[in-house]
Amino acid sequence: MKGVALAFRQVIYENRAFWRSPAAAFFTFAFPLIFLVIFSLLFGREAAQFFTAGIITLSLVSATYTNIAMSVTIARDEGILKRLRGTPLPPLAYLAGRMMHAVAIGLLLAVIVMAFGAVVQGVEVPWAGLPVLVLVLIVGSAAFCALGLAVSALV
């Protein structure tokens, strides 16, 4: 198999492993919505526009930087990375698969938080700037994934 196909297979594996851990999936998706509701109750609906953007950013950092840094460090400590070196999976495909999975989770979180803010909180979504937002989310997610990998190398 080619490296790109192996990376996409790794994304499928990471996705399956993520959704098989209900606690991780619940807290990844529930915390941003809980924060949005709490901040809206504390500061009023007028501040929901401001807090929605902030919570999207928090969700993105949580799904990419924190997820990558913790999971790669845990995999290294448990010897999973050493076992992966004995398989035909190239290290780049493994890292690319992990990063693509984290970016996909981050984008899904951004869509969920934005939809929740628009439907429940009455936040106005700037539809004209949506393509730029998607580009910024993808580039930002990749940057935070890279930071997470750098931190996992230091820990």
**DSSP states of 43-77:** H-GGGHHHHHHHHHHHHHHIIIIIHHHHHHHHHHH
Number of structural domains the chain divides into? 1
Residues of the domain holding 144: 3-154
87: DSSP letter: S
Per-residue pLDDT 10s for the chain (155 aa) are 788 999 999 999 999 999 998 888 898 899 999 998 898 888 877 788 888 989 999 999 999 999 999 999 999 999 999 999 998 889 999 999 999 999 999 999 999 999 999 998 888 888 899 999 999 999 999 999 999 999 999 98
Whether the model clears a pTM of 0.85, i.e. scores above it, the answer is: yes
